[in-house]
Amino acid sequence: MFTIKLLLFIVPLVISSRIDQDNSSFDSVSPEPKSRFAMLDDVKILANGLLQLGHGLKDFVHKTKGQINDIFQNSTYLIKEEKELRRTTYKLQVKNEEVKNMSLELNSKLESLLEEKILLQQKVKYLEEQLTNLIQNQPETPEHPEVTSLKTFVEKQDHSIKDLLQTVKEQYKQLNQQHSQIKEIENQLRMTNIQEPTEISLSSKPRAPRTTPFLQLSEIRNVKHDGIPADCTTIYNRGEHISGTYAIRPSNSQVFHVYCDVISGSPWTLIQHRIDGSQNFNETWENYKYGFGRLDGEFWLGLEKIYSIVKQSNYVLRIELEDWKDNKHYIEYSFYLGNYETNYTLHVVKITGNVPNAIPENKDLVFSTWDHKAKGHFSCPESYSGGWWWHDECGENNLNGKYNKPRAKSKPDRRRGLSWKSQNGKLYSIKSTKMLIHPTDSESFE
């Protein structure tokens, strides 16, 4: 390039010097015709300069082609590396979701075990008090065998809970590692740039190419809220539209888990579920008060938990039934639920549905169990098994009764089991039930 510039500078000087010589000779000597050989020398000099200029341009073109090929190869390598990083990130995100689901399931199991432990400790404490009284009155009386067995069972439960806690810690550790890997990969993607040539300079020195930032991967959304949601409707309004187990904390209540069932785009809190008879519903008053069973199977949420939810606003009660011929029915009520001091009195008014003669309307229904009998309802829980809301007489409808599967040659004892009495007086055995609640105002807790 320097040679080309030098030629471009010299050629005009040569031509101008020739012109000056001609002018001086014109002034000193009488005019005579210019020499043809002089003109040919000028042309040769100019031609030689143009030839060198052409060689210089040719070398520059070859150098530029080599630079473009290098840039193209680097761009291809970076694109392949980006694709590989994207695949790795996707795999880590999938693993992260699996670990999260496992952690939620372990938390649910751990909470159930903790609740069982509390109930067992209460029973042990009660029996120990009785045992202390017996020892004081009869010093020679040996320790009650039931107390010994309960102590052994509680110790086993303690070991199980410790194992679960250790498992949960390991899961959280694994989650943190997954998050760290994802963040590291995202940082690598942010720092990766695709080199793109945008200008070709006529200078002999290569110019640094302009860089364009890489397209960054979308970051994992981690939406944080100021507090734990009050019920399933709040969870749904925040974007969780999938049925499953979630943690809630109603006003002035402790945190506990519920199953949120999304039905036709509307979130419902499941408070009772019967599907296969795997859970015994002939439980004590304490268990009906605080809940029992598994949220992913058969369960009763607990009267105290139900009350903590419905006291926040006006709620609708929905009951879904399915008989052994796979016929499905439902009914919805507006309802009021009292607290512990009223034995969780229930008062319902029908809104809609296709189940006639369901829960008695416009009456105060008192909840009773075999070990906690409300006044005026002494025989109902023992006759029908399972805790339920009763009035001045024992009705036929008991969704917490004994689960009876149909038998081929003999009729099941429907009076004591899970059954529903139709308007014509016929008693139907029920295959599955759901009891769900939903606020009348879906914006109550937003």
CATH number of the domain within which 355 lies:
3.90.215.10
Total structural domains within the chain: 2
**Looking at per-residue confidence, does 226 or 399 come out higher?**
399
The pLDDT of 316-325, averaged and rounded, is 93
DSSP β-bridge partners for residue 322: 328, 432
Residue 156, in any domain of the structure: no
Please check whether residue 268 lies inside any domain of the structure.
yes
Among the listed residues 313, 305, 294, the one whose alpha carbon sits nearest the alpha carbon of residue 254: 305
Q: Do 238 and 358 fall within a single domain?
A: yes
Res 446 pLDDT > 50? no
Q: What is the mean pLDDT of the segment spanning 335-357?
A: 90
Instruction: Please tell me whether residues 388 and 273 are part of one structural domain.
Output: yes
Q: Please name the amino acid found at residue 323.
A: D
Same domain, 129 and 237: no
- Do 250 and 106 reside in the same domain of the chain? no
56 vs 204: CA distance, rounded Å: 10
Whole-model pTM? 0.49
Average pLDDT of span 210-234: 51
The answer, yes or no, to whether residue 151 has pLDDT greater than 50, is yes
Angstrom distance (rounded) from CA 164 to CA 103: 11
Q: In angstroms, rounded to a whole number, what is the distance separating the alpha carbons of residues 274 and 413?
A: 18
Do residues 249 and 381 share a domain? yes
Q: Please report the pLDDT score of residue 2 as a whole number.
A: 53
Q: How many CB atoms lie within 10 A of CB 400?
A: 24
Whether residue 9 is contained in a domain is answered as: no
**Domain-terminating residue out of 134, 164, 193:** 134
Secondary structure in 3-state letters for 269-289: EEEEEECCCCCCCCCCHHHHH
* One domain for residues 286 and 434: yes
Q: Of 134, 164, 180, which one is at a domain's C-terminal end? A: 134
Rounded CA separation 442/315 (Å): 10
Q: Are 117 and 256 members of one domain?
A: no
Q: What is the pLDDT of residue 317?
A: 96
Q: Which domain holds residue 264?
A: 232-405+413-439
Domain termination residue (choose one: 134, 156, 176): 134
245 and 130 both lie in a single domain: no
Q: Give a yes or no: residue 274 inside a domain.
A: yes
Whether residue 152 is contained in a domain is answered as no
Q: Does residue 241 share a domain with residue 348?
A: yes
Query: Stretch 83-110: mean pLDDT, rounded?
Result: 89
Using pLDDT thresholds of 50, 70 and 90, give the confidence band for residue 74: confident
pLDDT in tens, 8-48: 666 565 555 555 555 544 444 444 555 566 678 888 888 88
Q: Which pLDDT score is estimated for 212? A: 30
Residue 329 belongs to some domain of the structure: yes
Specify the pLDDT at position 142: 58
Query: 402-406, long-range: CB within 8 Å, 24+ apart, which pairs?
Result: 402/281, 402/282, 403/274, 403/276, 403/277, 403/281, 404/277, 404/429, 405/277, 406/324
Q: Residue 211: which of 230, 225, 192, 188 has the closest Cα?
A: 192
Question: Per residue, what are the HEC states of the chain?
Answer: CHHHHHHHHHHHHHHHHHHHHHHHHHHHCCCCCCCHHHHHHHHHHHHHHHHHHHHHHHHHHHHHHHHHHHHHHHHHHHHHHHHHHHHHHHHHHHHHHHHHHHHHHHHHHHHHHHHHHHHHHHHHHHHHHHHHHHHHHCCCCCCCHHHHHHHHHHHHHHHHHHHHHHHHHHHHHHHHHHHHHHHHHHHHHHHCEEECCCCCCCCCCCCCCCEEECCCCCCCCCCCCCCCCCCHHHHHHCCCCCCEEEEECCCCCCCEEEEEEEECCEEEEEEEEECCCCCCCCCCHHHHHHCEECCCCCEECCHHHHHHHHCCCCEEEEEEEEECCCCEEEEEEEEEECCHHHCCCEEEEEEEECCCCCCCCCCCEEEEECCECCCCCCCHHHHHCCCEEECCCCCCCECCCECCCCCCCCCCCHHHECEEECCCCCEEEEEEEEEEEEECCCCCCC
Mean pLDDT on 371-393: 69
pLDDT tens, position by position, 156-172: 778 778 877 877 777 77
Q: Are residues 366 and 257 in the same domain?
A: yes
Q: Tell me, what's the pLDDT at 1?
A: 56
What is the Cα 418 distance to its own chain's centre?
Answer: 35
Average pLDDT, the chain: 77
User: Is the pLDDT reported for residue 362 higher than 80?
Assistant: yes
- Classify residue 151: in a domain, yes or no: no
- What confidence category does residue 372 fall into, taking pLDDT thresholds of 50, 70 and 90? confident
Residues 252 and 126 reside in one and the same domain? no
Whether 172 is covered by a domain: the verdict is no
Are 257 and 388 found together in one domain?
yes
